[in-house]
């Protein structure tokens, strides 16, 4: 009985440790994306995206109608590459990461600064997949608002 309990406890401990390493790797991929954005380094930036990745934003127009805007990842990468280092600065206030096997999601509230000035805030939801070369961002969908943004 003691051996069974010890074996079960050991397996649970190893599983928790492995998930912890995956969570660190998921966070590292997201951090690398934002580091690449801040540095305007497209090589660093594009390395974290899975093939066929997508980017969407949920927003309200002037008539208060909600829509979802799609942007291609290649266009996103190009727009980051046209900026000077430090112009784009998205600061995350938290990470809530959930992982199952090779799939992860991360909920990250943020405040976005452009040239040092607060621009907008919202939440990013990242979907990541664990490919042969590590965790890659498969999709990002975010919200954007100008009101009620904290200082980060």
Closest residue by Cα to residue 143 from 112, 113, 115, 101: 112
Three-state DSSP at 57 gives: strand
Report pLDDT for 19: 52
Write down all domains in the chain, each with its CATH number in brackets.
2-143 (3.10.450.50)
pLDDT band of residue 20 (cuts 50, 70, 90) is confident
Report pLDDT for 101: 96
Record the pTM.
Answer: 0.83
pLDDT tens track for 82-128? 999 999 999 999 999 999 999 999 999 999 999 999 999 999 999 99
Work out the burial of residue 148: count CB atoms within 10 Å of its CB; fewer than 13 is exposed, 13-18 middle, 19 or more buried.
exposed
Arithmetic mean of pLDDT, 135-143 = 98
Q: What mean pLDDT is reported for the chain?
A: 90
């Amino acid at each position: 009985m003691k051996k069974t309990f010890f074996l079960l406890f050991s397996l649970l401990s190893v599983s928790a440790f492995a998930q912890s390493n995956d969570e660190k790797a998921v966070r590292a991929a997201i951090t690398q994306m934002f580091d690449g954005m801040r540095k305007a380094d497209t090589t660093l930036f594009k390395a974290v995206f899975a093939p066929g990745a997508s980017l969407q934003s949920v927003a309200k127009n002037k008539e208060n109608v909600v829509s979802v805007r799609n942007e291609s990842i290649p266009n996103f990468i190009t727009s980051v590459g046209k900026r000077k280092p430090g112009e784009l600065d998205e600061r995350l206030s938290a990470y809530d990461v959930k992982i199952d096997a090779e799939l992860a999601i991360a909920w990250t509230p943020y405040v976005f600064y452009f040239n040092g000035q607060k621009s907008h805030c919202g939440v990013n939801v990242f979907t990541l997949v664990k490919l042969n070369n590590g965790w890659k961002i498969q999709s990002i969908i975010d919200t954007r608002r100008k009101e009620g943004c904290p200082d980060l």
